[in-house]
Amino acid sequence: MDKAALEEGADFAPRFDSNGLIVCIAVEAATREILMVAYMNQLALDKTIETGVAHYWSRSRNALWRKGDTSGQVQRVLSLSVDCDQDAILLTVEAGGDGKACHTGRKSCFYRRLEIGDGARRLVFAE
């Protein structure tokens, strides 16, 4: 597919990397807060589209993962978007269960921010 068609066309043509993965960002519909970043392979993307529930590819377990199967934090997909060159997916979701997305028990996986001062760089908890 040429660049113009990829960037401006109506064809859904996700571009997976050399490992067969595409990055996926999940945001909460109500707040637009980023909940997590994960990866999808073709199977995870197909299952997400077919079921309306977020599926990811676990690189550490090398397995398909339906978000919420063990935690109850099922992510119901309200919309799926791609970036300009179709190598990243954005899911807008409603999180089930307790509404948290992180395996640490936090709502978002982005719970620390970088603080720079006195020549030091350190992470501080944002919550």
- At residue 13, φ and ψ (nearest 5 deg) are -140, 70
| CA proximity to 92, closest of 32, 10, 22, 37 | 32
> What's the confidence (pLDDT) of residue 109?
85
Is this structure's pTM higher than 0.85?
A: yes
Give domain 3-99+109-125's CATH superfamily: Phosphoribosyl-AMP cyclohydrolase (3.10.20.810)
Give the model's pLDDT for residue 80: 98
By percentage, how much of the chain surpasses pLDDT 90?
62
Q: Which residues of the chain have pLDDT under 70?
A: 127
